Structure 1
Amino acid sequence: METELFYVPERFFDAHQELLQKLPSIEDYGKKPLVTLEKALEPLRPLIDNFEILPWTAKSIMRQPTYDLNYDEAGAIYLYTIWRSKEDQTIPSQLNKALRSGERNRLNAWSSYLHLLVVALNKLPSMRGTIWRYGRGDVTNNYQKDCIWLGFSSCVGPMSNVTNQGKDSVYTVFEIKCINGKAICNYSEFPQDDEVILMPGTRLRVMRKEDLTTRLKKIYLQEDENQLLAKPSAWSLPIDITYRTEQDFKMTIMQPNGEIKSLQSSSKCFGIEQDVLDNIFDY
């Protein structure tokens, strides 16, 4: 079987950074008028390298957006996924740190981009299914009953970015039954990641936990119906749309030597059986 190596973004492994606190009030972001992607990024100029070319690059690539997204909205999603040589300079890293901080002065610079990104994501149909997210270390003690994830949560769909941990690494795998996931592979720099985003303020119920190995822990979560982030009705679409596909998916496996291997597989709907997951992890 043909394989290839590619980069797995850190945003899929940041669940351990969630503080599980109440989302600070950020409703004011939606009161501002929508602006172009260029104007939305202007307050972020000190934070973003290559500021001048990023909007042009994103909008040039997103030439045929679907679901009534315009170029600025599609570009906002694309920029969220764009690769940077330094992980702490990526848009998701900096935006999610601001959201999780609860400090309004840190959020102010992001308000226009946040508005554009939320509008874009809410135009996409919501999906129900099983998705996965990862955290570094054992964080099972932090999850007892209910929790709230404050940032944009980058998750993966079936047969994509499932990891085989190295000998000295400890990870927590979150298996999530979602009802409002936003599949963004058509707007991503890395469509093979099969990325699904959960919105800021997503409420989750802890269903059960288990120790798969001494290095691998697992938490089963169920998304609640209620979301904390304001969703003006003009932005919203019905949430009970089941995502199904006949397309091929790629599975990426992190080898003990640190390499990441991509394997081609096929799935007909969002969801993966436990025996398949067991075969992927090398216990």
Structure 2
Amino acid sequence: MEYTQHTTNRFVDIKFYEEKLSPVCGYWNEKLIPLEEALKFLRSRMNELQKYIETAKNNCHFPSEHGLTHDESAALFLYATEENVNSLNRMLNQTLRSSDRSSVKPWFPYLKLLDTAVAKLPTVRKNVWRAVINDVDRDFKKGEEFTWWTVTSCSLSMDTVANHLPSESKITLILIEAIHGKYISGYTEHPDEGEVLLMPGTELRVVSDSLDYSDSIKIIHLMEISEDNDEQLPSAIAIMKASSQTEDEPNRNGIRDHSFMMIVYYSLVKLGVKFQAKRFINSLALSGNMRHK
């Protein structure tokens, strides 16, 4: 099963819905061309395109210690630029979600630049976060596998995602155990966001059914899968499900568990749901996963 996304911010979706999509991989065989030429088809759709490209080239991280060319670094910077509803990343992902796969072809030169750029960056094998401004837990069932064909922005910090969420809304936080994520924060306008990209074709599995901490907050746990590495990362979210630990049993996850609980707690507070955050901490204490000393 494959999900498409309607995005309000590159870290946050409005909803997920089920749709079968064919793969997008034709851009792999494209020749690398300058950024201006790769995006010339957008001139009629994106006002001030040339100014955005010039801004990206003037402000991107270049020279690059990772060997990115000026155009590759500018392509990353431009992807992460969000000025309005017609931001490049929104138009790109809207097209990647389309069932008309021929509509993606004009994007191939830009996707080639982006793909070549991220291939040179460090690979991230860590827990990363996204969110959905909606209750979508029914769409994710334990053991289910699906593919994302968009360029998916995630963050190493739940706080970054929380900063883009409304204070009063149903929210689904998505924890992803990434194994092929690409760390791009040094190449964006906001390096403190801890941004990690998952490129088109990322395959995912639902690790567990949703965790429900209130009527308005759910947490979904996904893991990236691949043919060469199907091993699950040591998962922080496992502690939130493990209610069988006894008082006499040592807490094997130690400091990492406590840190994760604090991240969740403070992020929920930032969302304006302090009551639910306190209830979350209390539920962990009652289950034996957090003990008062």
Q: Same fold (TM over 0.5)?
A: yes
The structural deviation recorded for 1:22 is: 5.0
- Partner of residue 124 from structure 2, selected from 119, 123, 127: 127
The structural deviation recorded for 1:273 is: 1.6
Larger Rg: 2
Q: Is contact 1:124–1:182 with CA below 8 Å preserved after alignment?
A: yes
Superposed CA offset, 1:115-160 (max 9, x none): 1111111111211111100011111111111222221111111254
The structural deviation recorded for 1:102 is: 3.0
Q: How well do the aligned residues superpose, as a CA RMSD in angstroms?
A: 2.5
TM-score computed with the length of structure 2 as normaliser: 0.72
**How many residues were matched structurally?**
232
Q: Is contact 1:44–1:109 with CA below 8 Å preserved after alignment?
A: no
Where in structure 1 do 4 or more consecutive aligned residues deviate above 3 Å?
19-23, 164-168
Q: Is contact 1:160–1:192 with CA below 8 Å preserved after alignment?
A: no
The structural deviation recorded for 1:167 is: 5.8
> Which residue is equivalent to 1:176?
176
Q: Is contact 1:171–1:216 with CA below 8 Å preserved after alignment?
A: yes
Spell out the pairing of 1:69-218 with structure 2 (5 A cutoff): 69-84=68-83, 86-87=84-85, 89-144=86-141, 145-158=144-157, 160-163=159-162, 168-208=168-208, 209-218=210-219
Counting helix residues as a fraction of each chain, which structure ranks higher?
Answer: 2
> Which residue is equivalent to 2:226?
225
Superposed CA offset, 1:250-276 (max 9, x none): xxxxxxxxxxxxxxxxxxx9xx62343
Q: Is contact 1:22–1:150 with CA below 8 Å preserved after alignment?
A: no
Distance 1:122 1:22, change over 3 A: farther
> Which residue is equivalent to 2:59?
61
> Which residue is equivalent to 2:284?
none
TM-score computed with the length of structure 1 as normaliser: 0.75
Distance 1:162 1:12, change over 3 A: closer
The structural deviation recorded for 1:21 is: 4.6
**Amino acid corresponding to residue 44 of structure 2 in structure 1:** P
Q: Is contact 1:20–1:149 with CA below 8 Å preserved after alignment?
A: no
Measured in 2, the distance between the counterparts of 1:98 and 1:226 equals 27
**Amino acid corresponding to residue 260 of structure 2 in structure 1:** E
Measured in 2, the distance between the counterparts of 1:177 and 1:140 equals 18
**Amino acid corresponding to residue 198 of structure 2 in structure 1:** L
**SS where residue 63 of structure 2 aligns?**
coil
Distance 1:167 1:32, change over 3 A: closer
> Which residue is equivalent to 1:24?
22
Identity %: 32
Q: Which runs of 5+ in 2 are unaligned?
A: 1-7, 234-255, 270-275, 277-293
Q: Which runs of 5+ in 1 are unaligned?
A: 1-8, 228-241, 243-268
**SS where residue 49 of structure 2 aligns?**
coil
**SS where residue 273 of structure 1 aligns?**
helix
The structural deviation recorded for 1:27 is: 2.3
The structural deviation recorded for 1:181 is: 0.9
**Amino acid corresponding to residue 107 of structure 1 in structure 2:** V
**Amino acid corresponding to residue 78 of structure 1 in structure 2:** F
> Which residue is equivalent to 1:280?
267
Distance 1:103 1:35, change over 3 A: same
**SS where residue 66 of structure 1 aligns?**
coil
Q: Is contact 1:21–1:147 with CA below 8 Å preserved after alignment?
A: no
Q: Is contact 2:14–2:133 with CA below 8 Å preserved after alignment?
A: yes
Relative contact order (alpha carbons < 8 A, sep ≥ 6): 1 or 2 greater? 1
> Which residue is equivalent to 2:245?
none
Q: Is contact 2:129–2:158 with CA below 8 Å preserved after alignment?
A: no
Q: Is contact 1:20–1:148 with CA below 8 Å preserved after alignment?
A: no
Measured in 2, the distance between the counterparts of 1:51 and 1:280 equals 36
> Which residue is equivalent to 2:34?
36
Measured in 1, the distance between the counterparts of 2:19 and 2:186 equals 32
